[in-house]
C-alpha cells in the first residue's frame, strides 16, 4: 500500500473508519502511538490511529534527538533499562532508520570545572557504555569507542572554547536523530503503508472498552470509532483519558542559536552543570547549521498545555552554563529561539501507576515505560524516544491478548521505515540526508520548485510534505515537517509562502 499521507486520504479513510469495527485504535501519534500503529498493522491487524493535532505534535518534537545507549541508567544501576536502550539504538542505526539516525561524537571539555577524579569517573562510564554497545551487538564501526583528546584536538572540534585551564577532552559516541519529528512522520507513513489509517486532527474525547468517542477537529463533527482494543499513547496527556495514570511532568528547555553563533563546532559538547557531579548540559550542532543548547529539568504543576512555554529563567540558566566554557561569552540576543517539552514521568508515589504490564516496580517507572491494561483498554506511557519501538511492541502484545486478537509476534525490529532503502548518489547531499531513498523523488519536485523558504528548505520540499507527509496547515509545514518555526523571525518570514502553497 502507498505510504503517502495527505488531505484526500485522510478524508477518505475517516469516512471508512466511522463505519467499521477495527482490531486496534491507537490514540496519540507521537513516536509511541505511531510505533504502536506500525507494530499492530505490520502484524496484519486492522488499525486506525488518531491525533488531536498533528503527527509529532507533543513531546516527541521537543527532544534532544539523542538515540542513547542508556549510559545514564547504567550509572543508576538500572542495567535492564540501559541494555534495552542500547539494543533499540542498534535497531535504529542498523535496520530501521539508518537514514535518520547516525553516530555522533560528543566531547566533554576538561576545564577547571571538571576535577581529575570526575574525569576518571566519566571515562569509566564511557567504557561501560562501550561495553553495553558490544553486549547489544552494535559493531564498533558504527559507534567508535571513547578516547581522551589533547587540549589542541579538543579546540579543533570546538574552537570557541576558552584556552585557559583547558587540559583536554573526553570523546564519546552515541546515536543521534536528524530530526525527531521526521522520525515520527517516517514511522506513521510506514504504518500507513501497512494499511493503518493515520488520522490527524481527530481528538479522542473519551475511551471505552469498545472504542472511543472522537471529534474531527476540522469540522467539529463527533463520531464513534469501534475497536476490539484501544491503545492510549497520549504521552503527557495520558491521564486525561485514563484516570489511573498520574504523571509528574518535568520541563526540559533547549535554546536555539543561529548558524555561526558557535563557529567551527564539529561535535556535541557535554558541559558540567555547576554544583552537580553527574548532570551535563548539551550543546548540540544540528544538520541545518543551528545549535541547540539544553537541558533544564523542572517539575511542572497544573494543567498540561498544548505547547509548553519557556520561562526567561530557563534561558538565563542555560546561557550561563554555556558561557562558562566560552572564550567570548554570548549575549542574550544570540538566543534566536527556545523550546520546551514535558517529560511524561510517572508519579512513583502511591499506586499511581496501577500494576504495570511489564512487571516493573513503580520506583523504576519514571525510567522505564509502563503498560497499564484494563481489559481491552491499554495505556502506554513513560520511556523515551529511543525505546519507542519496544514500548509499541509491549503495548500491542498487551492489546492482542486483552482484545483476543489473532496476530503473530512483533516484526518491527527488522522493518525498515520509509526512506531507509538504498540511497542514490546523484541527489544533493542535504536531500539524501533528510529523505534517504526518497531523495530522488523529492529532488524532482525541488527542481520544479527551487525557491528557498528559509534554512535551506525549498518550496518543493514543502509541497512534498503536503502531498506525501500529511501536512495539512502551515504549522505542520513550519513546525514539524521542517523546523524553520523554532526561530520566530524565520517562521514569520516563511509563513506567507507556506500559506500560499496550501491553497
Ligand X SMILES: Cc1cc2nc3c(=O)[nH]c(=O)nc-3n(C[C@H](O)[C@H](O)[C@H](O)COP(=O)(O)OP(=O)(O)OC[C@H]3O[C@@H](n4cnc5c(N)ncnc54)[C@H](O)[C@@H]3O)c2cc1C
Among 67, 51, 72, 56, CA closest to 125: 72
User: Which range, of 7-15, 26-34, 189-197, 418-426, touches ligand X by CB under 6 A?
Assistant: 26-34
Cα–Cα distance, 70 to 234 (Å, whole number): 24
Region from 154-162, 188-196, 357-365, 378-386 binding ligand X, contact rule CB under 6 A: 378-386
DSSP string, 299-342: E--SSPPSS----HHHHHHHHHHHHTTBSSPPPGGGEEEEEEEE
In angstroms, the CA 84 to CA 67 distance is 12
* Interface region with ligand X, contact rule CB under 6 A, candidates 6-14, 335-343, 398-406, 463-471: 335-343
Residue 412 to residue 431: CA distance in whole angstroms: 26
Give the separation between CA 66 and CA 178, rounded to whole angstroms. Answer: 9
31 binds ligand X (CB under 6 A): yes
**CB neighbour list of residue 418: distance below 8 Å, 6 or more residues apart:** 3, 186, 189, 190, 193, 438
Binding ligand X (rule: CB under 6 A), the pick from 52, 114, 445, 477 is 52
Q: Which is nearer to ligand X, 119 or 347 (CB)?
A: 347
Residue 385 binds to ligand X (criterion: CB under 6 A): yes
Query: Interacting stretch for ligand X, rule CB under 6 A, among 4-12, 64-72, 319-327, 346-354?
Result: 64-72
- The sign of the CA dihedral 484, 100, 104, 384 is positive
Q: Which of residues 247-276 bind ligand X (CB under 6 A)?
A: 252
Could you give the CA distance from residue 247 to residue 349 in angstroms, rounded to a whole number?
10
Question: In this structure, are residues 455 and 430 in contact, taking their beta carbons and an 8 Å threshold?
Answer: no
Determine contact, residues 371/395, Cβ cutoff 8 Å: yes
The pattern of x and - marking residues 183 through 222 that bind ligand X according to CB under 6 A reads --------------------xx------------------
H or E element at residue 230: strand 222-232
Strand 21-27 to 222-232 pairing = parallel
362 forms part of the interface with ligand X (CB under 6 A): no
Buried b (16+ CB within 10 A) or exposed e, 414-444: ebbbbbbeebeeebeebbbbbbbbbbeebbe
Stretch that binds ligand X, among 89-97, 233-241, 348-356, 436-444 (CB under 6 A): 233-241
* Using rule CB under 6 A, residue 342 touches ligand X: yes
Least separation in angstroms between residue 270's CB and ligand X is 13
- By C-beta, is 50 or 405 nearer to ligand X? 50
410 is a contact residue toward ligand X (CB under 6 A): no
Number of residues lying near ligand X (CB under 6 A): 39
For residue 232, state whether it binds ligand X (rule: CB under 6 A).
no
Interface with ligand X (CB under 6 A), residue from 14, 22, 24, 30:
30
Nearer to ligand X among residue 290 and residue 443 (C-beta)? 290
**Residue 331 CB burial class (10 angstroms; 0-12, 13-18, ≥19):** exposed
Stretch that binds ligand X, among 9-17, 69-77, 95-103, 236-244 (CB under 6 A): 236-244
66 binds ligand X, rule: CB under 6 A? yes
Stretch that binds ligand X, among 3-11, 63-71, 403-411, 428-436 (CB under 6 A): 63-71
235 binds ligand X (CB under 6 A): yes
Q: Which of 26, 236, 257, 455 binds ligand X (CB under 6 A)?
A: 236
Shortest Å, Cβ 382 to ligand X: 7
User: Do 273 and 321 contact (CB within 8 A), yes or no?
Assistant: yes
Site residues, ligand X (CB under 6 A): 27-33, 50-53, 57-60, 62-66, 68, 203-204, 233-237, 241, 252, 295, 341-344, 383-386
Amino acid at each position: 500500500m502507498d505510504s503517502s499521507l495527505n488531505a484526500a486520504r485522510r478524508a477518505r479513510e475517516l469516512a471508512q473508519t466511522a463505519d467499521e469495527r477495527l482490531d486496534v485504535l491507537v490514540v496519540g501519534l507521537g513516536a509511541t502511538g505511531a510505533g504502536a500503529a506500525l507494530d499492530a498493522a505490520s502484524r496484519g491487524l486492522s488499525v486506525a490511529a488518531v491525533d488531536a493535532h498533528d503527527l509529532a505534535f507533543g513531546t516527541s518534537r521537543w527532544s534532544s534527538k539523542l538515540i542513547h545507549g542508556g549510559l545514564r541508567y547504567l550509572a543508576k544501576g538500572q542495567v535492564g533499562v540501559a541494555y534495552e536502550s542500547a539494543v533499540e539504538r542498534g535497531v535504529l542505526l542498523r535496520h530501521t532508520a539508518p537514514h535518520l539516525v547516525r553516530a555522533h561524537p560528543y566531547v566533554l571539555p576538561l576545564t577547571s570545572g571538571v576535577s581529575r577524579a570526575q574525569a576518571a569517573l566519566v571515562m569509566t562510564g564511557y567504557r561501560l557504555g562501550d561495553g553495553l554497545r558490544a553486549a547489544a551487538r552494535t559493531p564498533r564501526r558504527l559507534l567508535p569507542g571513547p578516547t581522551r583528546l589533547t587540549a589542541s584536538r579538543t579546540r579543533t572540534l570546538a574552537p570557541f572554547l576558552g584556552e585557559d585551564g583547558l587540559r583536554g577532552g573526553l570523546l564519546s559516541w552515541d546515536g543521534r536523530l536528524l530530526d525527531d519529528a521526521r522520525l515520527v512522520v517516517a514511522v506513521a507513513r510506514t504504518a500507513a503503508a501497512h494499511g493503518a489509517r493515520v488520522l490527524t486532527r481527530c481528538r479522542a474525547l473519551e475511551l471505552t472498552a469498545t472504542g472511543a468517542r472522537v471529534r474531527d477537529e476540522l469540522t467539529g463533527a463527533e463520531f464513534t470509532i469501534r475497536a476490539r482494543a484501544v491503545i492510549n499513547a497520549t504521552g503527557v496527556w495520558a491521564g486525561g483519558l485514563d484516570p489511573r495514570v498520574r504523571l509528574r511532568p518535568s520541563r526540559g528547555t533547549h535554546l536555539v542559536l543561529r548558524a555561526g553563533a558557535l563557529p567551527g563546532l564539529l561535535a556535541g559538547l557535554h558541559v558540567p552543570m555547576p554544583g552537580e557531579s553527574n548532570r551535563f548540559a548539551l550543546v548540540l550542532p544540528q544538520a541545518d547549521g543551528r545549535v541547540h543548547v539544553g537541558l533544564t529539568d523542572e517539575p511542572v504543576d497544573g494543567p498540561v498545555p498544548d505547547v509548553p512555554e519557556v520561562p526567561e529563567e530557563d534561558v538565563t540558566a542555560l546561557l550561563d552554563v554555556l558561557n562558562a566554557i566560552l572564550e567570548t561569552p554570548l549575549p542574550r540576543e544570540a538566543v534566536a529561539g527556545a523550546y520546551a517539552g514535558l517529560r511524561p514521568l510517572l508519579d512513583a508515589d502511591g499506586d499511581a501507576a496501577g500494576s504495570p504490564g511489564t512487571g516493573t516496580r513503580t520506583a523504576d517507572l519514571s525510567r522505564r515505560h509502563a503498560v497499564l491494561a484494563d481489559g481491552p483498554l491499554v495505556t502506554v506511557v513513560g520511556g523515551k524516544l529511543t525505546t519507542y519501538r519496544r514500548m509499541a511492541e509491549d503495548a500491542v502484545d498487551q492489546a492482542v491478548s486483552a482484545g483476543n486478537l489473532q496476530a503473530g509476534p512483533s516484526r518491527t525490529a527488522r522493518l525498515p521505515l520509509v526512506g531507509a532503502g538504498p540511497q542514490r548518489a546523484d541527489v544533493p547531499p542535504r536531500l539524501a540526508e533528510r529523505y534517504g531513498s526518497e531523495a530522488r523523488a523529492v529532488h524532482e519536485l525541488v527542481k520544479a520548485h527551487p525557491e528557498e523558504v528559509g534554512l535551506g528548505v525549498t518550496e518543493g520540499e514543502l509541497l512534498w510534505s503536503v502531498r506525501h507527509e500529511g501536512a495539512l496547515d502551515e504549522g505542520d509545514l513550519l513546525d514539524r515537517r521542517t523546523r524553520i518555526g523554532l526561530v520566530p523571525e524565520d517562521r514569520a518570514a516563511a509563513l506567507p509562502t507556506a500559506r500560499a502553497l496550501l491553497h
